[in-house]
Amino acid sequence: MKLKLHVWRQPNKDQAGAMKDYAVEGVSEHMSFLEMMDTLNEQLMNKGEEPVAFDHDCREGICGSCSMVINGLPHGGHKGVTVCQLHMRHFKDGDEIFIEPWRAKAFPVLKDLVVDRAAFDRIVASGGYVSVATGGAPDANALPIPKKEADLSMDAAACIGCGACVAACKNASAMLFTAAKASHLNHLPQGQPERFERVKNMSMQMDAEGFGTCTNLSQCEAVCPKEISVRVIAEFNADLIKAQVKG
C-alpha cells in the first residue's frame, strides 16, 4: 500500500508544532500501525531527515506507551486495541491518515507524538497504594475475598495508564484512570483502611495537575483499550462524597 500521512511535528515543548505531510510506500496489510511508522522513519532517515518521535515499548498492548490520535480517535478508535495492536488491514491503498499526540494541558507535548504523562504517576503516588507492614508474603487463602469483589478489582486493575481516556474527553478529564486506580484497591480488604483518604488525595492531585471535570459522556469508556467501565467513576464519586462527610 501507499499512504498519505499527515503527522504532527513539534521540535520540543517550547516551540510550536504543525502538521507535515508524508507519503509512505511499501506498507503491508499485515503490518501493525507502529511498524508502518517504522517504515516511514526508515524512509526519512534514508533521505537524511529526522524521524518522527513516538512512544512504544512492549508492542503487545500491555505497556500503554503507544499514545496516538489517529484520524481523530485515540488508538484509532477500534474497540479494545492499542496502536501497536492496530493493523494496516483496516486501511486501504491511497488512504490519508491524520496522526497527532494526545491533546491535554496536563499532557504537554515533548516532541512530535511524545507527550509527558508524568501527571498520571503523581496521581498514583498521591494515593494509589496500600500501606502494609513488610515481611513474608501471606498464604493466598489467608484473607478470603468474595469472587465478585475480586473480579471488580481485577477489572479495574487492567488499566494500563495509556491516557486514551483523557485524549477522548472534551474536558481532558482523568476520571476513568484515577477511578480505576482507586477501584482496584478499594475492592480489596487491604485497601479499606485508607479507602476514603485515598480517593480524596487522588482527586485533589488530579485537579492540581490541570485535568478537566467529568461530564459523564462516556467517551473514555468507548476508547479504553482495556474496556474499563465508567462504573468505576460512579464508585469513586460515591467514595469521595463519603470522604467529605467524614471530614
Listing DSSP states for 163-188 in one string gives -HHHHHSTT-B-HHHHHHHHHHHHTS
Q: What is the pLDDT along the chain (247 residues), one digit of tens a residue?
A: 999 999 999 999 999 999 999 999 999 999 999 999 999 999 999 999 999 999 999 999 999 999 999 999 999 999 999 999 999 999 999 999 999 999 999 999 999 999 999 999 999 999 988 887 767 777 767 788 999 999 999 999 999 999 999 999 999 999 999 999 999 999 999 899 999 999 999 999 999 999 999 999 999 999 999 999 999 999 999 999 999 897 7
Q: Can you give the CATH number for the domain in which 32 is found?
A: 3.10.20.30
pLDDT at 69: 98
The neighbouring-strand residues paired with 100 are 69
Count of domains forming the chain: 2
Statement to judge: residues 105 and 122 lie in one domain: no
Distances (CA, A) of 23 to 17, 26, 39, 96, 114: 19, 10, 11, 9, 21
Could you tell me the pTM of the whole model? 0.93
C-alpha to C-alpha distance for 100 and 80, rounded to whole angstroms: 20
Q: Last residue of some domain: 52, 83, 111?
A: 111
Q: Return the pLDDT at 98.
A: 98
User: Per residue in 75-93, pLDDT tens?
Assistant: 999 999 999 999 999 999 9
Give me the residue label for grid cell 480505576.
180
Alpha carbon distance 114, 19 (integer Å): 14
Between CA 90 and CA 99 the distance in angstroms is 15
Query: Domain boundary at 111, 133, 155, which?
Result: 111
Q: What is the pLDDT of residue 134?
A: 67
Residues 167, 104, single domain; the answer is: no
CA distance 27 to 170: 33
Same domain, 124 and 242: yes
Find out whether 66 and 120 touch, Cβ atoms under 8 Å: no
**C-alpha grid cell, residue 98:** 491524520
* Domain end residue (candidates: 111, 132, 164): 111
Cell of residue 226, nine digits: 482495556
CATH, residue 136 = 1.10.1060.10
- What pLDDT shows up at residue 246? 78
Domain containing 168: what range? 118-246
One domain for residues 40 and 136: no
In a shared domain, residues 62 and 78? yes
The reply to whether 129 and 102 lie within a common domain is no
Residue 191 CA, chain-centre distance (Å), reads 24
Together in a domain, 10 and 127: no
Q: Are residues 72 and 160 both part of a single domain?
A: no
106 and 123 in a common domain: no
Shared-domain flag, residues 198 and 241: yes
Residues 69 and 174 in one domain: no
Q: What is the pLDDT of residue 131?
A: 85
- Quote the pLDDT of residue 80: 95
Residues 174 and 139 in one domain: yes
> How high is the pLDDT of residue 65?
95
